[in-house]
Chain A
Amino acid sequence: MLCNIQVTVNGRSYASAVEPRLLLVHYLRDVLGLTGTHIGCDTSQCGACTVLLNGKAVKSCTVFAVQADGGIILTVEGLAKDGKLHPVQEGFWEEHGLQCGFCTPGMIMASYALLQRNPNPTEAEIRHALEGNLCRCTGYQNIVRAVQWASRQMAETQPTPAPRRRAGRRSR
């Protein structure tokens, strides 16, 4: 039995008929062709598949596409604007936050989610937020630096007082 779903992915609306057992990650990759979201494990542990669903970082391999019906999804493909990389993406470039790059889309989306609710995280907060993302290459040091780079960059380009006031707070 197929189920009809409607989702908005990176600002575009899609309607599809899907099998209930179809995982969101397979929907994104195989149905919509958005292969930026990776699959790195079978056990819901690696975080390579991380996307934002209704503003929250989730492992898209551990959500059925039917559960996302009516939802708003952001994948790594949706971050760059007008050909310009998002500061989080730039940060991974500038600070050498990747080697093979397999974990990178998930790392970037988890980091983006963190910076949305905590624009100026401490190192400990960055590491806590990235506990669900495994990297087999970098040793994480440069990933932490990449997030710190993005945090500084975003504060400069959006000098609103609000993020500064909330700085360091862990809750949303």
Chain B
Amino acid sequence: MVCAPFTYHRPSSLRQAIALLQRLGEEAKVLAGGQSLIPVMKMRLAQPQHLIDLGGIQGLSYIREARGAVRIGALTTHAEVEASDLLKRRLPVLAETASLIGDMQVRNRGTIGGSVAHADPAADYPATLLALDARFKVVGPEGTRTVPASQFFPGPFTAALKPGEVVTEVQVPLPPQGSGASYQKFANKASRFAVVGVCAFISLNARGTIRSARLGVTGAADHPFRATAAEEALQGARPEERVFQRASRLVTQGVECVADVHGSAEYRAWLCQVLARRALETALARARGG
């Protein structure tokens, strides 16, 4: 497999990268870990004339806590997220999600910024980042803006990025005391992508009822989504079996599940329900400190 020829650029600053993107326009693509872009270039499904490698830019790879959020630089690899002691302590569900992406070699190269920008409808991070109410810092020719995860994935392989924009940071708010989250993935055995993946986040108030709950779903529809009907059913309720059962049934309400060789739409809807139940139960146990 040989990719179509292209010109390689390796800017040493973000500013240069954005200037290049602006100048070269449609013909250019940025290259991060290459674990999605190179496979599609090998298949010649993408034939960019210019590749702008972000790998030469210092300071885009970090995991740190500041102002009530964990901030993850766009070039941080899945393996770094998986191994991060800070995340294991503060947001273990994110480290767990990273550990389930692809395989060791893919995790060693693939980046969180590349994953969210690529917006594969079966990618793992989007489910968890939706449930954790993350925000993405985006820098472009017109400056910097922050986009909430709930608005970042409008369609298949489409992120809410304008021409010339680059994702630079993922910001995940630190959950309050009495919160827990869990990501449950049913993986395709060959590709290891999610057939369906569900992340549940639960925050309890002092009386033990659900203060807020969020569910992020990947793989089921043509883009990752928040299961808002299920979230409403959980809000303010007691975290009991009956409530979880009802909420899980609502996960696909108003959602058109996709069908392909890996599963029918009905099968995916069923997986959503089963995985949501498991994710909610685990999230609850964690919220209670179990």
User: What is the interface of chain A, defined by CB distance below 8 A to chain B?
Assistant: 1, 3, 19-21, 23, 42-45, 47, 50, 56-59, 61-64, 66-67, 110, 113-114, 128-133, 170-172
- B190 in complex: contacting residue of A45, A67, A172, CB < 8 Å: A45
Q: Is the CB of B106 within 8 A of A59?
A: yes
Q: Is the CB of A20 within 8 A of B7?
A: yes
The B16-50 residues at the A interface (CB cut-off 8 A) are 31, 34-35, 38-39, 41-43
Comparing B97-105, B164-172, B203-211, B271-279, the segment that makes contact with chain A is: B97-105
Contacts of A43 in B (CB 8 A): 39, 43
- Interface bin, chain B: 20 to 34
Q: Is the CB of B39 within 8 A of A132?
A: no
Q: A63-B109, A132-B102 are in contact. Are A1 and B7 (CB under 8 A)?
A: yes
- B105 in complex: contacting residue of A1, A20, A23, A47, CB < 8 Å: A47
Interface of B is mostly: mixed
Q: Is the CB of B39 within 8 A of A64?
A: no
The B186-207 residues at the A interface (CB cut-off 8 A) are 190-192
B 40-73 to A, binary, CB cutoff 8 A, 1 in contact else 0: 0111000000010101000000000000000000
Q: Is the CB of A172 within 8 A of B83?
A: yes
Contacts of A128 in B (CB 8 A): 104
> Does B2 touch A at the CB level, under 8 Å?
yes
Q: A43 to B45, alpha carbons, bound, how many Å?
A: 12
Closest 3 CB pairs of A and B: A132-B103, A20-B8, A171-B83
Contacts of B106 in A (CB 8 A): 44, 59, 62, 132
Contacts of B104 in A (CB 8 A): 57, 110, 113-114, 128-132
Contacts of B6 in A (CB 8 A): 20-21
- B43 in complex: contacting residue of A3, A42, A114, A131, CB < 8 Å: A42
Contacts of B190 in A (CB 8 A): 45
Q: A20 to B82, alpha carbons, bound, how many Å?
A: 31
Q: Is the CB of A19 within 8 A of B5?
A: yes
Q: List 30 A-B contacts (CB under 8 A).
A: A1-B7, A21-B2, A21-B5, A23-B42, A42-B1, A42-B43, A44-B35, A44-B38, A44-B106, A45-B191, A56-B109, A57-B105, A58-B108, A58-B109, A61-B42, A62-B106, A63-B34, A63-B109, A64-B8, A64-B34, A64-B38, A67-B55, A113-B104, A130-B104, A131-B102, A132-B103, A132-B105, A132-B106, A171-B82, A171-B85
> Does B221 touch A at the CB level, under 8 Å?
no
> Does B79 touch A at the CB level, under 8 Å?
yes
Closest-CB distance, A23 to chain B (whole angstroms): 8
Contacts of A47 in B (CB 8 A): 103, 105
Q: A143 to B94, alpha carbons, bound, how many Å?
A: 30
Contacts of A113 in B (CB 8 A): 104
Q: Is the CB of B39 within 8 A of A56?
A: no
Q: A1 to B6, alpha carbons, bound, how many Å?
A: 9
Closest-CB distance, A21 to chain B (whole angstroms): 4
- Most interface-central of A3, A20, A23, A42 (chain B CB within 10 A): A20
Q: A56 to B8, alpha carbons, bound, how many Å?
A: 24
Contacts of B159 in A (CB 8 A): none
Closest-CB distance, B93 to chain A (whole angstroms): 16
Q: Is the CB of B108 within 8 A of A56?
A: yes
> Does B3 touch A at the CB level, under 8 Å?
yes
> Does B259 touch A at the CB level, under 8 Å?
no
Q: Is the CB of B4 within 8 A of A59?
A: no
Q: A133 to B105, alpha carbons, bound, how many Å?
A: 9
Contacts of A172 in B (CB 8 A): 83
Q: Is the CB of A44 within 8 A of B39?
A: yes
Closest-CB distance, A57 to chain B (whole angstroms): 5
Q: A114 to B6, alpha carbons, bound, how many Å?
A: 35
Contacts of A132 in B (CB 8 A): 102-106
Q: A52 to B109, alpha carbons, bound, how many Å?
A: 12
Q: A20-B6, A42-B1, A132-B102 are in contact. Are A63 and B42 (CB under 8 A)?
A: no
- A62 in complex: contacting residue of B79, B109, B191, B192, CB < 8 Å: B109
Q: Is the CB of A62 within 8 A of B7?
A: no
Closest to A52 in B: B108
